[in-house]
Structure 1
Amino acid sequence: MTKLVADLKGGTGFRKSLRVKRVEGMKSVQVYEMTWAPDGRATWEYGEEIRPGQPHVIWRRIGTHSIFRQP
Structure 2
Amino acid sequence: MPTYETCTHFTHDWKHLTPVQRRRFTRVVREAFVPGLRAGRLFRPGLRVKGVRAAAGVYELTWAPDGRATFTYGREHRNGCHIIWRRIGTHDILHRP
TM range (shorter): 0.7 to 0.9
Asked if 1:69 corresponds to 2:69, the answer is no
CA shift at 1:67, angstroms? 0.8
Gaps of 5+ in 2: 1-28
2:52 to 23, 28, 36: 23
Structure 2 counterpart of 1:7: 36
CA shift at 1:4, angstroms? 0.3
CA shift at 1:11, angstroms? 1.2
TM-score in terms of structure 1 length: 0.86
**Greater than 4 Å deviation, 4+ residue runs:** none
Structure 1 counterpart of 2:84: 58
CA shift at 1:12, angstroms? 5.2
More strand by share: 1
**CA distance in structure 1 between the partners assigned to 2:34 and 2:55 by the alignment:** 24
TM-score in terms of structure 2 length: 0.64
Gaps of 5+ in 1: none
- Between the two structures, name the one with larger relative contact order (CA 8 Å, sep ≥ 6): 2
More helix by share: 2
Identity %: 54
Relative to 1, partners in 2 of residues 1:48 and 1:6: Cα closer, same or farther, differing over 3 Å?
A: same
Size of the aligned set, in residue pairs, is 68
